[in-house]
Each structure stands twice: as C-alpha cells, then as structure tokens.
Structure 1
Amino acid sequence: MPQFFLNKRLIVLLVSIILLVALIGISLKDRQKLTWPEQFVKDSIGSVQSLFEKPAQYVAGFFQDIEDIKSTYKENKVLKTRLDEYVELSVKVKDLEKENQELREILDKKESMRDFKPIQATVIERNPDKWEDVISIDRGAQQGIEKDMAVITAKGLIGKVKNVSQFTSTVELLSSASRTNRISAVVQGDTRIFGLIEGYDKEKQALLFTKIPSDVKVEKKQIVVTSGLGGVFPDNLVIGKVIEVTPDDYGLTQTAYVKPAADFNDISHVMAVNRIIPKVSKTP
C-alpha cells in the first residue's frame, strides 16, 4: 500500500473538502426545500441571533433614550432662556409704552399751558417711609425751579416744591400730613365755591377740601381746581373731582372728599409750573 493512503489525517482532510464542495454545490441549486444540515445550521444561527438581539436592542434603546433625554434637556434649556428673554423684553416694551404715553401727555399738557412756565422733570427718588409725603425730582435752581412752585402731571396737581438744590428738588405731595400743606382751591360750577385743600384720607384715598360754608351746595363729580388766590400757585390747575360731602361736627362748615385727578402711587414724569406775571410798562 502506498505511503499516501497510510496518512489518515490527509484522507480525512480530503473527504472533508469533498463534502464541503458537495454541500456548496447543493446549496447553489434552486431548491424549494433545505437539507437537514442547512436547516440545523440556519436554526442554530437564528436562535443565537434571537438570543443576543433583544439584549442588544435593549442596550441600544437605553443609550438612545439617554441621548434623547440630553437633547430634550438642552432644548428645554434653550426654550426657557428664550422665554425669559421674551418676558423681560415684554416688560421693557410695556414700560417704554407707558413712559412714551406719559411723555406724550406731558408734551400735550405743556403745549396747552400758555399762561404758565412749565419745567419738565423726572422723579429720581421716593422713600417708602415717606411715600405719601415727598418725592425728589432731577431739576433744581439751575433749571429755574423755585420754592413753592406747583408740581403737576399730565392728569393734575400733585404738590409743590418744598426744597431746592442746584440740580435737584424736593416736592411735597398734596397727600402729605404736614399742617402747613395747604392750597387755596375752588369748586367749578355756576357758583364758584372757595376753600382749602388740607389733609388726606388714606382709607378713601381722597383729599380734604375744607372750609366750605354750610349753606353752599356741593355736588358729586364737580371739578376742583386751584383758585390762584394764594399768591403762589397759578389758577385753574386741576386737582380732582368731588366724591363725597359731609358737614363738620358743629354744622358750620362742610368738608368735601376730592378724588385726585393724578395717580399719587404712580408718579414718574412731572412739570413744575409758575405763573407768568406780565410786566407792566412804565409810562414816562
């Protein structure tokens, strides 16, 4: 026997190659049914794939969920930042619109005050402890502000200049509890009713118009203005509107509650005004 056939390993290798070639040839044919070795191999591979596919999908899905959460977090952070910017911008727009409206009203008021000398100013300080007493404005002696000048908004009178510095001034509001805070006023109507604005009722948020004779009839909604009789304030500056009238304890006089035309809780832009006294020409 030749030495070739004595090598068993070589024989097994050749037989294996022949079987492999035969299997490849069979698998390449167009067959409708698989052989049992092919079925076994295919089912084995399918089982192994199924065994690893679900855990792999779970792990892949877990990391995908984490990535989605990160993306959502970043997106929400960006949207929140934009929302904060939008809210801030909306507030600024409203403030600008309000300031623009106030300045327009002040300008219209200034143009209509032919008999007065208005000086426009802005409120720069208002102490919460003296909220109803005084405010500070950014105009002083250098801009023509003088003590006891009337101070108004576009809506009406709010007070008078109390102290003057070179570039700032302090304004005493009509709502101040100071005993010296008095203004000569008149109720407009067929009959002019004179009196004094002195004092402020916090509960009713109304000025006290005192010294009205008991036999004089004052009605609600009548307009109260400055009389000009005090020698300091111009006349016809709007103060407010009558909302209630009560007699005093002795029945000798009446007190009218006057709702201020100006909003004392919201004062930003004001004007200090002084009556222009016409010069009298001297005759030779």
Structure 2
Amino acid sequence: MRDTRRARLVIGVLLAAALILITVDHRAANGTLLAPVRDVASSVFGSVEGATATVTGPITGFFKTISNAPGAERAITALRKENAQLKSDLDAQRLNRDRVVKLDRMLGLAGLGRYRIVPAQVVARRASPGFEDAVEIDIGTGDGVRTDMTVLSGEGLVGRVVHAGPSTSTVVLLTDPALAAGARMEGGNELGVVNGLGEAGGNDNLIKFRMLDSSSPVQVGRRIVSFGSQGSAPYVPGVPIGVIERVDTTPGELTRTAYARPFADFSSIDVVGVVTEAPKRDPRDSVLPPVPKPAVSRQAKPVERPRLLPAPRPVETSQAETRETDQTVEQPAAAAPGANARLRQSEPPRSGHEPREQTRLAPSPTPERAAPGQVGQAGDQRRQDRGA
C-alpha cells in the first residue's frame, strides 16, 4: 500500500471512529444500541481465539517443556534420593525393632538363669583357625570379654569365645564339628556330649548328642540343657540347647546317639550376649521355655442315625408240610373221641353278643409212621369218629 495522503486520511478516520465507539460504549449503560454489535464481535473473535489456542497450544507446551527440562530432571533426582533415604530409614527402624525384641528376650533368659551378660551384635561370619563355623561380634576385652566365655541368645546356647580382641571377639558356634559341650537331659541326670555336624547337619543345623550311658532312656521330644564346665568356663550350666528329634540305636556300642534341633537359629543370628559372670547356683531346668500344649482340634460329633431293622421275611411252607400239619391236627381228635363232648359240657353257654375267642392250636409232634397192616384200622377208626 502506497503512503499517500488519501490512505493517511482513511486510517485517521477509522482510528477516530474506533475511539468514538469505544468511548461511547464505555460510558453508555447496558442495553445500548452497541450491545448487540459487541456480542457479535466477541463471539466471532472468541471462536477465532479458541481455534488459535487449540493449534498453538501443543507447540507452546513443547517449548515450555524443553525450557523446564533441566529443572524437572533435578527435581526427579532429588525425589529419588529422598525416597531411597526413606526406605533406608524404614528398614533401619524395622531392624532396630527386631533387635530390641531379641535383646529383650535375651535379657529375660539371662534374668531367669541369673547370668550377667554383655550384649553384642554379630558383625561378620567368618572361619577361624581350627574352626569352620564362627562369627565376629562387636565387643572385646575393653567390654570385659575374655577367652572361653559362654555366648547365648534369647533362645539358647550359641557357642563360646575363642579369641578376644580389644574391640571385637571371635565366637565359634555350637554347630561347628570341632566344638564339644557337656549336656544333660531335662528332668534328670542323664549326661552326654553335644557336637556340631557342620554341613552334615543340613539346613536344620542339627547337632549330635551322645549319651555317656547306653542304658539311659532317650526319647524323641525331650530337651537338653548345658551341664556346665569346671569353673563355668567355657560353659555355664542350665542354658537351653535343643530338642531331640531322632535317636539312633546301634547294638554293641557303649553310647547312644541322638540328633537334636538347637533352640538358637544359627541361620539368622544377630544379637547375642557374652556371659561374664556365672550364677552361684545351677538353675537346672528353670531357663527352659514352657512346653507348648498340643493343639486340640474341635470336630463336630457325627449324628447317630437310628438303625432300621429289616422286615421279617414271610415263612414259606411247602405243600408237604401243610399236609403233615393237617394230619397232625386231625389225629388228636381221632385219638380222643369223647374229648369234644366233654369240652362242650364244661364251656358255659354263650350269648349271641359275646365275642368269640380264637384259640391257637399248638403244633404236635410229628406222628410216627404206622405199619402197613395198621393203615386200614386207622382209616376205619377215622370213619367211626366222623360218624359219631
């Protein structure tokens, strides 16, 4: 468009008209003549603006995402670190709760047996010279730990200290094959020796218990405790060891061998206690846990239904038996012809309204067979009786 005087005049007129219309519309009240024009213009331009926003919205969002990408990446990294820290804190709290429970149980066992202990935590599991199953704990001579001290947990005997350093100590476990400890049967004085089985014990970590007297009774389910050593080193008396699960009897041997499951869980051992002072008196069986009662299953008693007795079967009689019975009934009448007359005389007269009593005829013994010559006489006698 050329920059002429006419064009300038047209633009000036349009601008003046626009200013006038804006001023009139602003000062005028609602319902003026310009209201319909304003509504039409707003609807038209509003549709155009909506279509433009629909087209340009994704492009604007894309450029905004690109511009905010570095900040979003930093926020995601910070959230991931915070999430990992929260998980670590939660695991630590759960582990601390488990340790508190184990420590409380161990202090309860030590209180029952009157053992003075120093709590410790297992920090590593390693082999020691001469032993293959040992652990490292986080206390040493600075805490009063010495070599050949008993180590226990909240469940029972764990092992003994074989090396004590300034801040750490090595404990050989009860499952080690080189370890031997004196043991006693619960509720008696049957003595034996406990030895570990190592890898031969399997996942159950079974231990071997050999009775010194082959005649001593050994039963599955009986529990064993530590017998104690001289001077309570390396083992103090009365610490629970395990429950007998299997007994092997070999004829001719001087000892009997049993296999027991330890009370302590050696696969997840964590919190232990080193006994620094033994009790003055043997606690015997007071430290053993209570025997669990067998679960009694409550089953509904079956309803007893009355038994139906079978119906009596009808007695089938043959024709031959019927004929013999008829003959038997007729023969007594023939044998005593005057009996019927005497019976009629002894009976009182009956009226027509009295009920008649039915008498049952008892079966008589089977008559003996008559000789051939006597058949005719018997027939004549019957005819005479019938005529009479």
Task: Tell me the TM-score range normalised by the shorter chain.
Answer: 0.5 to 0.7
List alignment gaps of at least 5 residues for structure 2.
Answer: 26-31, 282-388
Alignment-mate amino acid for residue 255 of structure 1:
T
CA distance in 2, matches of 1:254, 1:96: 43
Shift of 1:117: 3.6
Contact 1:212 / 1:255 at 8 angstroms: preserved in 2?
A: no
SS at match of 1:220: coil
TM (normalized to structure 1)? 0.67
% identical aligned pairs:
23
TM (normalized to structure 2)? 0.51
Shift of 1:213: 4.5
Aligned to 2:244: 242
Aligned to 1:118: 117
Aligned to 2:55: 58
Q: Is 1:192 matched with 2:194? A: no
SS at match of 2:216: coil
CA distance in 1, matches of 2:87, 2:142: 40
Shift of 1:236: 0.8
Shift of 1:59: 2.0
Shift of 1:142: 4.1
Q: What CA RMSD, in Å, does the superposition of the two structures yield over aligned residues?
A: 4.4
List alignment gaps of at least 5 residues for structure 1.
Answer: 1-8, 35-41, 279-284
Contact 1:132 / 1:175 at 8 angstroms: preserved in 2?
A: no
CA distance in 2, matches of 1:243, 1:207: 10
Query: 1:78 and 1:219, CA in 2 relative to 1: closer, same or farther beyond 3 A?
Result: same
Query: 1:49 and 1:229, CA in 2 relative to 1: closer, same or farther beyond 3 A?
Result: closer
Q: Deviations over 1:33-85 (max 9, x none)?
A: 99xxxxxxx9xxx6x997896465222134336757969x6786666555434
Contact 1:188 / 1:223 at 8 angstroms: preserved in 2?
A: yes
Matches of residues 28-177 of structure 1 in structure 2 within 5 Å?
Answer: 54=51, 56-64=53-61, 80-114=80-114, 116-127=115-126, 133-177=133-177
Query: 1:122 and 1:83, CA in 2 relative to 1: closer, same or farther beyond 3 A?
Result: closer
CA distance in 2, matches of 1:252, 1:66: 91
Query: 1:268 and 1:49, CA in 2 relative to 1: closer, same or farther beyond 3 A?
Result: closer
Query: 1:136 and 1:187, CA in 2 relative to 1: closer, same or farther beyond 3 A?
Result: same
Contact 1:214 / 1:247 at 8 angstroms: preserved in 2?
A: no
Contact 2:127 / 2:133 at 8 angstroms: preserved in 1?
A: no
- RCO higher in 1 or 2 (8 Å CA, sep ≥ 6)? 1
Aligned to 1:207: 207
Alignment-mate amino acid for residue 228 of structure 1:
G
Contact 1:220 / 1:243 at 8 angstroms: preserved in 2?
A: yes
Query: 1:261 and 1:60, CA in 2 relative to 1: closer, same or farther beyond 3 A?
Result: same
Contact 2:118 / 2:274 at 8 angstroms: preserved in 1?
A: yes
Greater share of residues in helix:
2
Alignment-mate amino acid for residue 63 of structure 1:
T
